[in-house]
A and B are shown apart, each in its own frame.
Chain A
């Protein structure tokens, strides 16, 4: 404006002076100058001209001022708007009237302001979005400056560690590190300060309550305008679940290893026991063979009665040892599932009659009533010899535990569904309740005092159970102490099952 006014005044003054000078020169040219009268005349005639000049000056100055103002006003307004924009206010929309050029300038200016405004809106939206993400993300975020102070953190981070955001901000990052990991964390931080790089590091953090949990920390760097590293955003991932899973996997692996080791040991033990019993049995063959040779009249020379008695005792005991070892071997084979069965069809009724006949003589001698109550026409597809072995064992048990007078043993078999149930019942001493659960365990006999009477190995029932289960059946007993004992075992008829399956 000042410039405009100056121009207006100078131009107006210049116009006035030129008018006056022009007029004077014109008068002087037409009329030769005279002395004082002429001067007075000149002054008289010049007055209206001077007045006219002043008038022209005023008009010119006014016009010029108006014209100049019409240019400088919009410029001033634009400058004010620009000042406002500089101060951050983009809501200015100068409404300026003026010449075409000025209007074009204003339109360009407004377009520029609008573009700026849009860009600023976009930018603040992005910042808000980022801030929202940071604040409310489920991940744990914290911003750490190069001096190790937490400049900011999100709600998740603070809450996860049992603090509020306000409590966390301004504290040192190691306040939240599990003491055992402080050294590792510090080392990583120092490394990051030098290199600007931190890979996913596993660090345990500590909550306000003192509990610790494993995390994976990664870093994104923050720079100032000059590109200097000023801090970093820590992205922290709670890996408790992964850690638990990993621990479980490790534990499982160890368990598997231990189990395999135990199984291996068991197998070695079984193999060793199997070998040992075999080795124990081998010398029995020559012992018994030489006894036989000595006993045979005339073969190695005749023996007197005392010598013969000795040989008989050796022979008897060797036989007992052989049975004992045989039982142990059998029990082992059953236990490790190496038992082989020969299955074929056989007449159960016939087998039971045979057994009844075989024992009749001994039962008579012991004055035991011996009864066979097997069903007629009963047959089975199974291992006949092994079934007989089980019945033999149960009968021997019954005999050993039946009273001398009024003893009674009943054997029998009956068909039941698709199986045959065998039974051996006696009226012996029975099995005390307390020891009933251990009946089918190794080397168990009801009463140690009976051991002298009962010459078995204590493996009889174990072997029975092994055979019966090997044949797909079950064995059980009912006993009333002091009154009676009944042993039962069932053997499935495999023909029946084969027919059912095909």
Chain B
């Protein structure tokens, strides 16, 4: 299964990618929004994990670009957010086509469960 992780903090992305690879996923990592968007547009990923708070090109920018290109409906997206996000904002993102939002710090076994249910949806 092919996963894409878009996360600007290498410590976090390294840890998550390591776990997912150990769990048998094929996990690609980009550390900025622009590269992530290009990857999504160029390749087919089963699920993309997207950090919202990134400098220059944020997670919101990625979502907006996917909306414009119409790719948001095809690409399954899980958003990783800071704990300060409100329920309302999370719901709004889900309405736009994001599968779900996970608050940081991410619990790894929880993350795998969510990825699994996302793929099956």
Cβ–Cβ contact B83 & A326, under 8 A? yes
Contact of B88 with A340 in the complex, beta carbons under 8 Å = yes
- Contact check, B108 vs A283: say whether CB atoms are below 8 A apart: no
A340 B12 Cβ-Cβ under 8 A:
no
**Number of residues of chain B lying within 8 A (CB) of chain A:** 22
Q: What's the least CB distance linking A460 to chain B, in Å?
A: 17
When C-beta atoms are compared, the residue in chain A nearest to B22 turns out to be: A299
A329 and B87 contacting across the interface, CB-CB below 8 Å: no
Find the B residue at minimum CB distance from A284. B105
B88 x A293 contact (CB < 8 A): no
Query: Can you give 17 A-B contacts (C-beta < 8 A)?
Result: A278-B82, A285-B9, A286-B14, A288-B105, A289-B15, A290-B15, A292-B19, A292-B107, A292-B108, A293-B15, A293-B22, A299-B19, A326-B83, A340-B89, A341-B86, A342-B87, A385-B87
- Structural contact, A282 and B88, CB atoms closer than 8 A: no
> Is B22 a contact partner of A289 (Cβ separation < 8 A)?
no
Contact of A296 with B by CB under 8 A: yes
Q: Is A26 an interface residue (CB 8 A)?
A: no
In-complex Cβ contact of B105 among A285, A293, A296, A333 (8 A): A285
Q: Bound complex: CA of A290 vs CA of B18, how far in Å? A: 10
CA distance A401 to B88 in the complex (A): 36
The 8 Å CB contact of A293, one of B11, B12, B19, B83, is B19
Q: Say whether A286 contacts B15, CB under 8 Å.
A: yes
- 14 further A-B pairs in the complex, CB-CB below 8 A; given A288-B105, A290-B15: A281-B105, A282-B12, A284-B105, A285-B104, A289-B105, A293-B18, A296-B108, A296-B109, A299-B19, A322-B105, A329-B84, A333-B84, A342-B86, A385-B87
**What is the 8 Å Cβ interface bit string for chain B, positions 82-120, against chain A (1 contact, 0 not)?**
111011110000000000000011111100000000000
Does B109 lie within 8 Å of A292, measured CB to CB? Answer: yes
Q: How far is the CA of A299 from the CA of B84 in the complex (A)?
A: 31
Instruction: Give the complex CA separation of A326 and B104 in angstroms.
Output: 11
CA distance A89 to B11 in the complex (A): 117
Output the least CB separation between A338 and chain B (Å).
9
On chain B, the residues within 8 Å of A340 by CB distance are 86, 88-89
With both beta carbons as reference points, the residue of chain A lying nearest to B12 in the complex is identified as A285
Tell me, rounded to whole Å, the shortest Cβ–Cβ distance linking B80 to chain A: 9
A323, B105: Cα distance in complex, Å: 11
Instruction: Give the complex CA separation of A322 and B103 in angstroms.
Output: 13
CA distance A413 to B108 in the complex (A): 39
Q: Please tell me which one of the listed residues B15, B18, B22, B87 contacts residue A285 in the complex, with CB atoms under 8 A apart.
A: B15
Most buried by B among A285, A322, A340: A285
How far, in angstroms, from A187 to B89 measured CA to CA in the complex? 74
Residue of B nearest to A338 (CB): B84
B interface residues with partner A (beta carbon < 8 Å): 9, 11-12, 14-16, 18-19, 22, 82-84, 86-89, 104-109
B13 CB to nearest A CB, Å: 9
Instruction: For chain A, give the interface size range.
Output: 20 to 34
| CB-nearest residue of chain A to B80 | A285
Tell me the minimal C-beta distance from B121 to chain A in angstroms. 25
When A278-B82, A282-B9, A282-B12 are in contact, do A289 and B87 touch as well, CB less than 8 Å?
no
A267-303 interface bits toward B, Cβ cutoff 8 Å, 1 = contact, 0 = none = 0000000000010011111101110110010011000
Check if A285 sits within 8 Å of B106, measured CB to CB.
Answer: yes
Bound Cα distance A195, B35 (Å): 80
B61 shortest CB reach to chain A, Å: 20
- In the bound complex, residues from chain A placing their C-beta under 8 Å from that of B11 are 282-283, 285-286
A284: which B residues are within 8 A, CB to CB? 105
Residues of A within 8 A of B86 (CB): 340-342
**A285 — which chain B residues lie within 8 A by C-beta?**
9, 11-12, 15, 104-106
* Bound form: Cα–Cα A285–B16 in Å: 10
Task: List residues of chain A with CB within 8 A of the CB of B18.
Answer: 293
Are B106's CB and A293's CB within 8 A?
A: no
Contacts of A326 in B (CB 8 A): 83
Chain A residues near B104 (CB, 8 Å)? 285
Is the beta-carbon distance between B9 and A289 smaller than 8 angstroms? no
User: Complex Cα distance A97/B8, Å?
Assistant: 129
Q: In the assembly, what is the distance between CA of A333 and CA of B88, in Å?
A: 17
Instruction: Determine the chain B residues whose CB is within 8 A of the CB of A329 once the complex forms.
Output: 83-84
| Cβ-closest 7 pairs across A and B | A285-B105, A289-B15, A342-B87, A286-B11, A340-B86, A286-B15, A342-B88
A residues 295-317 near B (Cβ < 8 Å) are 296, 299-300
Report how far A278 CA is from B83 CA in the complex, Å: 10
Residue from B16, B83, B84, B89 within 8 A of A289 (CB atoms): B16
A288: B residues at CB distance < 8 A: 105, 107
